Structure 1
Amino acid sequence: MVGTRIKELRVQKGYSICELARLANVSKSYLSQIERGLHKNPSIQVLSKVGKTLGTSVEGLLKEEHSAGKDEIVLDSEWREMLVTAIKEGLRKEDFVEYRKFMKYETWRKEHKSIHEDLQK
């Protein structure tokens, strides 16, 4: 829902609902209704004002609603922050793929070590 996306971005920016409403020049009660899903089809003008205030576009507000499938994981702010930091520190996609392979190997090794130790008892 677009309201969920607005609330997520508002919280990330550290705005209260009152602050966002004031900065975007929209009604606080209307914004609250959008966030709570009571008003599911806000006008493009309102979305444009809110999006600009939150540093995104109308498409950016709607994108999450249409792109996130039921099985798709939406990253919280802590995960995003860790990934951005790692990328800024030079982590490449190839490095991440290798790390995942290593972690799978370590899990496999620990499981087999445990089985081997149980067999020796």
Structure 2
Amino acid sequence: MSDQTIGKKIKQLRQEKRLSITELSEKAGVSKSYLSTIERNLQKNPSVQFLEKIAEVLGVSVLSLIHSQEDPHEWLDPDWIELIEEAMDSGIDKQEFKEFLEFQRWKKSQN
């Protein structure tokens, strides 16, 4: 992550949506006091479950909370980007890729 903390990102998005801390905590089903400690950077490592709840209410991805840039080129290994682009160019869709991953997991579990 760059110079923007997860807490600052959450606070910025919350304010853009014109939500109070109370409103966001209630809609996400999280503790108001915990959300406040995150926003004030007193707690720096929120759980994935917490981030999922907050991201859903704010209408963003969990990755956008973790990374200051939504553009994967900013944080993703260039080799992965190249592989993804090559797969897309060859006509592989997301469902086919998911099936391939499931097959690989199954194959690995058989060993």
Matching of residue 26 in structure 1 with residue 12 in structure 2 = no
**Which residue of structure 2 lines up, in the alignment, with residue 45 of structure 1?**
49
The residue identity in structure 2 corresponding to 1:28 is K
TM-score, structure 1 normalization: 0.53
**Which residue of structure 1 lines up, in the alignment, with residue 39 of structure 2?**
35
Structure 1: state its 5+ residue gaps: 68-121
Q: Aligned to 1:6, which of 7, 10, 21?
A: 10
Matching of residue 16 in structure 1 with residue 9 in structure 2 = no
Query: Cα RMSD (Å) of the superposition?
Result: 1.9
SS in 2 for 1:64: coil
Displaced runs of 4 or more, over 3 A? none
TM-score, structure 2 normalization: 0.58
Deviations 1:91-116 (A, max 9, x none): xxxxxxxxxxxxxxxxxxxxxxxxxx
Matching of residue 55 in structure 1 with residue 59 in structure 2 = yes
The residue identity in structure 2 corresponding to 1:21 is S
By how many angstroms is 1:57 displaced? 1.2
SS in 2 for 1:56: coil
**Which residue of structure 2 lines up, in the alignment, with residue 115 of structure 1?**
none
Structure 2: state its 5+ residue gaps: 75-111
